[in-house]
Amino acid sequence: SCTNYNPADFVSYVNGFKNYVVANKPDIITLQLGENGSESVKADIYAKVMAQVINGIKEVAPDAIIVISAPFWSAETSGKVVGTYKAAEECGIYVAPVYTLGQGAWDGSNPNMAFNAPWVTANTSNGVKAHPGDEGMDNIAKMFFEKVNYTLSTSDKIKYTTIPESIERIVASAFFDCN
C-alpha cells in the first residue's frame, strides 16, 4: 500500500530512469507508470511519484520533450489518471490520454483491444486479448505524437538566420508575382 508514502523510497527508481536518459540522450521521452499496479493508489501519492520521476529526468535532460500517460485500463476517476494530470500540471508537460482507449467491456467490442486480432486463438486468455491490438497501438502512438507535436509547435527553440526557401517563396508570392 502507498498510504505511508516516503519520497526516499523511489530514489533508486528515479536514479534508474536518470541513468537510462544520460546513457541514451533521448530528445523525446514518453512515460507511463503503474500499468499492472493497484488501482487503489491515491491521486496525490501517484502524482508525487510521477513528478519525482519527471523532475529527475528533467535534471539530466532539461531540453527533452516529456509526455506522460495514465495506464491503458485506468478509469477516468482513478488515482492514477487524476494523479497523472496533477503531475503534468505541476511539471508543465502534457498528457496523452491513453486511458480513454482501454475503457469499455472486455467482450471484443472495443476496437483498441486485441480480442479480434488475427493471432488470437481459442486458448488466448481474455487478459491477453484485453491488451491493445494493432488499432489500439496505432491510436496510442497518435495520442503521443499529437502531444509531442503540440509541444514542439508551442516551444520552438529554432531561430532561423535564413528563411527556408519554401517559406521565402510563400512570403514573396504574397507581395510579388513569382510565377
What pLDDT, in 10s, does the model give residues 119-147? 999 999 998 999 999 999 999 999 999 99
Q: Torsion over CA of 56, 60, 63 and 67, rounded to 10 degrees?
A: -40
Which three cell numbers, joined as nine digits, stand for 94? 502534457
Mean pLDDT of the residues in the chain: 84
Strands lying side by side in the sheet with 28-32: 28-32, 65-69, 94-95
Does residue 101 contact residue 112 with C-beta atoms inside 8 Å? yes
Residues 103-120, mean pLDDT to the nearest whole number? 90
Asked whether the predicted pLDDT for residue 21 surpasses 50, the reply is yes
Confidence of residue 38 (pLDDT cuts 50, 70, 90): confident
Does residue 51 contact residue 90 with C-beta atoms inside 8 Å? yes
Look at residue 28 and give its three-state secondary structure: strand
Confidence of residue 177 (pLDDT cuts 50, 70, 90): low
Residues 43-61, mean pLDDT to the nearest whole number? 93
Give dist(CA 80, CA 76) in Å, integer.
9
Percentage of the chain beyond pLDDT 90 is 63
